[in-house]
């Protein structure tokens, strides 16, 4: 009987070997990518609180990742408990971490989580050795920021500024109204002018008016010249008028006398009327006396006598 691996067994063993190699290579590639094989320096930072930092939170410089938070713990060694943050920074950036570097927890604006930002140290300061403490700066909370902002002085300044702003806005509004009205008025004026309305419009838009005004002024000049001449001629006439008035006055005198006579006569008129009435009454009495004479009454024709009116019943159909 022949001993050893069969062909099928050899193929299966080779396949398993390839898989193992492939898996190891893959793991190496991933470890390389994950930096499992990079050398890192460990530093310690102390904060008054953790600021929501987590294990694995990023450590950045110039907004570039240079390491990660390795451990968070609360230490009670001092009188005041503190949060101790152990970070691991790639060794290649270790020369940037010096004595004047300051670590600070930064919160992103909207998206993301808190990270540790380390300001780069200047070349004049010595490097911080691995496992050394990096100076830290406490991050101001929103409330602290607001408290700082809402200080009395600031509020006062803001008040003054707002009042100034309101006044300015009001002034601007008024000025805007005035300006708007003025602009509208100017628009109307220009429109009227354009349409030839009003004296100015006519003057501006109608040449005919210019001509007519010119003609009128010319006529006025002529008229004034003629008026001057006429005034010169009127002077002797006015002198004659005075003479004429004197003569009228002389003629009026007899007229006044006549009117006075009429007035005096009219005053005597009632007496005259009274006398006439008396005479008429006497005459009537005389006539009545004559009529009363029986001889005359018998012979005189019978006069009409007043009668009670009988309304004639001669009705028409």
Partner 1 sequence: MWRRAPFLSCWARLGLVALLVGGCAAKADPFGQQVRRIDEISIAGEELFARGELKRATRNFSRALTMSRSVDYLPGAAQQLNNLGAVALEEGDYPKAGDYFTQAYNLNQERQQFVAASINQANLATVAVKQGQPAAASQHLLAAQDAARQSRSQPALARVYLQWASFYLDQNDPASAQDFLTRAQPLCTTPELKGSLFHHRGRLALARGDSGQALEMFTRALSIDRSVLDRAAMAADLFYLGEVYQTRGDLAPAWDNYVRAFDVYAGMGRKAQLSKCLKRLQEVNREGQMGNSLERFEKLANPNPAPS
Q: Footprint of partner 1 on this chain (CB under 8 A)?
A: 288-290, 292-296, 304-317
Q: Which is nearer to partner 1, 33 or 292 (CB)?
A: 292
Pick from 15, 9, 16, 67: nearest CA to 43:
67
Q: How far apart are CA 187 and CA 182, in angstroms?
A: 8
Q: How far apart are CA 70 and CA 116, in angstroms?
A: 12
Pick from 69, 77, 75: nearest CA to 43:
69
Provide, rounded to whole angstroms, the least separation between the CB of residue 315 and partner 1.
6
Q: Which is nearer to partner 1, 255 or 304 (CB)?
A: 304
Q: Which is nearer to partner 1, 1 or 295 (CB)?
A: 295
Pick from 75, 50, 128, 71: nearest CA to 118:
128
Provide, rounded to whole angstroms, the least separation between the CB of residue 283 and partner 1.
14
Provide, rounded to whole angstroms, the least separation between the CB of residue 273 and partner 1.
20
Rounded to the nearest 5°, which phi and psi values hold at 64?
Answer: -125, 135
- CB 86 within 8 Å of CB 69: yes
**The two three-digit tokens of residue 174, written as one number:** 């008024």
Provide, rounded to whole angstroms, the least separation between the CB of residue 276 and partner 1.
19
What kind and span of H or E run contains 187?
helix 152-195
Provide, rounded to whole angstroms, the least separation between the CB of residue 299 and partner 1.
11
Question: What secondary structure letter does DSSP report for 112?
Answer: S
Helix, coil or strand: residue 40: strand
Q: Which is nearer to partner 1, 64 or 315 (CB)?
A: 315
Q: Which is nearer to partner 1, 185 or 291 (CB)?
A: 291
Q: How far apart are CA 72 and CA 50, in angstroms?
A: 8
Q: Which is nearer to partner 1, 207 or 305 (CB)?
A: 305
Provide, rounded to whole angstroms, the least separation between the CB of residue 274 and partner 1.
19
């Amino acid at each position: 009987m022949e001993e050893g691996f069969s062909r099928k067994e050899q193929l299966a063993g080779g396949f398993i070997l390839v898989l193992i190699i492939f898996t190891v290579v893959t793991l190496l590639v991933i470890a390389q990518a994950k930096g499992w094989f990079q050398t890192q320096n460990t530093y310690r930072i102390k904060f008054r609180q953790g600021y929501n930092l987590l294990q694995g939170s990023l450590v950045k410089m110039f907004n570039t990742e240079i390491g990660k938070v390795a451990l968070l713990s609360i230490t009670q060694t001092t009188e005041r408990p503190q949060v101790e943050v152990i970070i691991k920074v790639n060794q290649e950036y270790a020369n940037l971490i010096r004595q004047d570097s300051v670590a600070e927890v930064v919160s992103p604006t909207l998206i993301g989580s808190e990270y540790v930002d380390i300001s780069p140290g200047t070349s004049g300061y010595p490097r911080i050795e691995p496992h050394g403490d990096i100076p830290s700066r406490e991050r101001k909370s929103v409330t602290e920021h607001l408290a700082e902002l809402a200080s009395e002085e600031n509020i006062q300044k803001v008040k003054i500024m707002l009042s100034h702003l309101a006044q300015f806005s009001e002034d601007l509004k008024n000025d805007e109204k005035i300006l708007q009205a003025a602009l509208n008025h100017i628009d109307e004026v220009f429109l009227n002018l354009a349409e030839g309305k009003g004296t100015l419009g006519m003057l501006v838009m109608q040449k005919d008016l210019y001509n007519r005004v010119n003609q009128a002024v010319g006529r006025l000049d002529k008229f004034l010249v003629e008026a001057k001449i006429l005034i010169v001629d009127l002077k002797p006439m006015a002198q004659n008028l005075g003479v004429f008035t004197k003569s009228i006055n002389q003629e009026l005198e007899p007229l006044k006398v006549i009117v006075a006579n009429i007035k005096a006569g009219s005053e005597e008129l009632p007496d005259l009327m009274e006398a006439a009435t008396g005479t008429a009454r006497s005459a009537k009495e005389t006539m009545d006396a004559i009529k009363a004479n029986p001889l005359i009454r018998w012979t005189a024709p019978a006069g009409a006598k007043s009668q009670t009116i009988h309304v004639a019943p001669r009705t028409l159909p």
